[in-house]
């Protein structure tokens, strides 16, 4: 065992001596056996890489002109669908056209001027507030108290005031503001009623005219005379009037119709009415009502060379 350790130790010493001690001694003693021969130097051929050709820079091409963009027109709005209205029927030439009445504000000029004819008979109104009113009788004056809801009678107008009395026959007169009473309501109610009445009268007058035209077509005639006696056709004057009607008005056979309030003179027709043959002439005229003047139509019925009667064409009543 010791011998083996000695052997290993000797080998180690020999190796260390060979590696570290021998080279400097060999260098001194000029031993070269142990120096490895240097490898011959290889010549390195350096080849220059060819320089890259410098390409000429291309001239910048002009930028293509941008074509103008077409203007975008706004899209047209879709047209609304056409509504085809049914064709209105042609107006009936024989149809009734109701009369036109002015509004109450126009009739009264905004309540500043009530038609004087409205006060031809005292109108009862109601007080809207308690008032003490100075009442005059001749040159004397006294105070009268009126409670809300009390009744007074209107005799006339003085600007925005109403002239009142406690009774239609009372001689005492006082004034009260129009708006302190229900006068406007009373007036409007009466006006609406008269419009209904006048419209109905006009409708009946229209129906009467249609019936009269039919009667005239079916009425037998014998030239200028009919019905026996002196029943010749009335003549029309150059100014459009009828002498036979003018004579009737001047003699007082009718008082409501005057030559100066006649607006139009109709044509002469021959009709059989209630079994009697008449020459008939319609006239349109203005008549005075409590709400002012309104157009009215009347008919003169002529028999045996004179006016037998004047009647309203709407109602058939005799015209006073």
Backbone angles phi, psi at 102, to 5 degrees: -70, 150
Domain containing 230 equals: 188-312
pLDDT value, residue 102: 92
Of 148, 181, 214, the domain-final residue: 181
With tokens 């060999």, the residue in question is 26
H-helix or E-strand containing 159?
A: none
Question: Do 110 and 199 belong together in one domain?
Answer: no
Secondary structure (H, E, C), 233-290: CCCCCCCCCCHHHHHHHHCCCCCCCCHHHEEEEEEEEEEEECCEEEEEEEEEEEEEEC
> What are the CA-CA distances from residue 1 to residues 4, 5, 9, 148 (Å)?
5, 6, 12, 158
Question: Do 155 and 218 belong together in one domain?
Answer: no
Among 19-33, 35-49, 130-144, 251-265, the range with the most confident prediction by mean pLDDT is: 251-265
Question: Do 225 and 172 belong together in one domain?
Answer: no
What is the mean pLDDT of the segment spanning 15-34? 61
> What are the CA-CA distances from residue 100 to residues 131, 188, 207, 295 (Å)?
39, 16, 18, 11
pLDDT at residue 224 greater than cutoff 60: no
Question: Do 164 and 226 belong together in one domain?
Answer: no
pLDDT at residue 261 greater than cutoff 80: yes
How sure is the predictor about 294, in pLDDT bands with cuts at 50, 70 and 90? confident
How sure is the predictor about 251, in pLDDT bands with cuts at 50, 70 and 90? very high
Q: Where are the alpha helices (DSSP H) in the chain?
A: 2-16, 22-29, 104-107, 183-218, 243-250
β-partners of residue 306 are 303
How sure is the predictor about 3, in pLDDT bands with cuts at 50, 70 and 90? confident
Of the candidate ranges 47-51, 149-153, 174-178, the one whose mean pLDDT is the lowest = 47-51
Report d(CA 155, CA 175) in Å as an integer. Answer: 10
Task: Count how many Cα atoms sit within 13 Å of the Cα of residue 22 in the half-sphere of its side chain.
Answer: 12
What is the mean pLDDT of the segment spanning 65-75? 66
In a domain, 277, yes or no: yes
Total domains, the chain: 2
pLDDT at residue 27 greater than cutoff 70: no
In a domain, 85, yes or no: no
Question: Do 289 and 203 belong together in one domain?
Answer: yes
In a domain, 14, yes or no: no
In a domain, 128, yes or no: yes
Of 181, 205, 229, the domain-final residue: 181
In a domain, 27, yes or no: no
3-state secondary structure of 216: helix
In a domain, 219, yes or no: yes
Report d(CA 116, CA 132) in Å as an integer. Answer: 26
pLDDT value, residue 225: 46
pLDDT value, residue 228: 41
Single pTM value for the model: 0.60
Of 151, 166, 181, the domain-final residue: 181
Percent above pLDDT 90 for the chain: 39
How sure is the predictor about 212, in pLDDT bands with cuts at 50, 70 and 90? confident
Contact criterion met (CB below 8 Å) for 154 and 183? yes
Question: Do 128 and 218 belong together in one domain?
Answer: no
Question: Do 207 and 243 belong together in one domain?
Answer: yes
In a domain, 159, yes or no: yes
First vs last C-alpha separation in the chain = 182
pLDDT value, residue 191: 94
Question: Do 172 and 196 belong together in one domain?
Answer: no
What is the mean pLDDT of the segment spanning 166-193? 93
Q: Where are the alpha helices (DSSP H) in 58-177?
A: 104-107
In a domain, 11, yes or no: no
What is the mean pLDDT of the segment spanning 248-263? 92
Question: Do 304 and 263 belong together in one domain?
Answer: yes
Higher pLDDT, 23 or 139: 139
Contact criterion met (CB below 8 Å) for 225 and 270? no
Contact criterion met (CB below 8 Å) for 208 and 314? yes
Give CA 294 to chain center in angstroms.
Answer: 30
Question: Do 111 and 215 belong together in one domain?
Answer: no
How sure is the predictor about 138, in pLDDT bands with cuts at 50, 70 and 90? confident
How sure is the predictor about 5, in pLDDT bands with cuts at 50, 70 and 90? confident
Report d(CA 304, CA 225) in Å as an integer. Answer: 10
Question: Do 147 and 210 belong together in one domain?
Answer: no
With tokens 């009709």, the residue in question is 271
How sure is the predictor about 195, in pLDDT bands with cuts at 50, 70 and 90? very high
Backbone angles phi, psi at 19, to 5 degrees: -80, -35
> What are the CA-CA distances from residue 130 to residues 29, 173, 176, 232, 282 (Å)?
163, 18, 11, 69, 53
pLDDT value, residue 47: 55
The pair of three-digit structure tokens given for residue 168, joined into one six-digit string = 């239609």
How sure is the predictor about 288, in pLDDT bands with cuts at 50, 70 and 90? confident
pLDDT at residue 290 greater than cutoff 90: no
How sure is the predictor about 220, in pLDDT bands with cuts at 50, 70 and 90? low
Question: Do 300 and 276 belong together in one domain?
Answer: yes
pLDDT value, residue 52: 63
């Amino acid at each position: 065992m010791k011998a083996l350790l000695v052997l290993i130790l000797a080998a180690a010493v020999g190796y260390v001596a060979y590696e570290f001690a021998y080279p400097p001694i060999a260098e001194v003693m000029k031993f070269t056996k142990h120096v490895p021969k240097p490898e011959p130097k290889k010549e390195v051929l350096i080849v220059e890489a060819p320089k890259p050709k410098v390409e000429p820079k291309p001239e910048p091409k002009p930028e293509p002109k941008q074509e103008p963009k077409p203007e975008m027109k706004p899209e047209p709005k879709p047209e609304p669908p056409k509504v085809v209205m049914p064709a209105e029927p042609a107006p009936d030439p024989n149809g009734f056209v109701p009369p036109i009445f002015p509004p109450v504000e126009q009739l009264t000029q905004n309540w500043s001027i009530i038609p004087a004819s409205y006060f031809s008979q005292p109108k009862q109104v109601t007080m809207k507030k308690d008032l003490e009113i100075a009442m005059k009788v001749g040159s004397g004056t006294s105070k009268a108290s009126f409670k809300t809801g009390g009744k007074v009678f209107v005799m006339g107008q003085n600007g925005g005031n109403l002239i009142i009395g406690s009774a239609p026959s009372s001689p005492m007169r006082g004034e009260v503001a129009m708006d302190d009473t229900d006068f406007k309501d009373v007036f409007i109610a009466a006006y609406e009623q008269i419009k209904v009445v006048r419209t109905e009268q006009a409708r009946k007058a229209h129906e009467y005219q249609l019936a009269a035209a039919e009667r005239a077509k079916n009425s037998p005639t014998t030239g200028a005379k009919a019905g026996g006696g002196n029943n010749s056709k009335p003549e029309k004057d150059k100014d459009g009037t009828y002498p036979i009607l003018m004579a009737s008005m001047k003699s007082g056979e009718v008082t409501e119709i005057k030559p100066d309030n006649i607006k139009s003179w109709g044509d002469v027709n021959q009709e059989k009415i209630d079994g009697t043959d008449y020459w008939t002439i319609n006239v349109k005229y203005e008549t005075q009502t409590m709400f002012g003047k309104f157009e009215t139509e009347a008919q003169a019925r002529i028999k045996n060379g004179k006016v037998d009667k004047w009647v309203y064409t709407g109602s058939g009543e005799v015209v006073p």
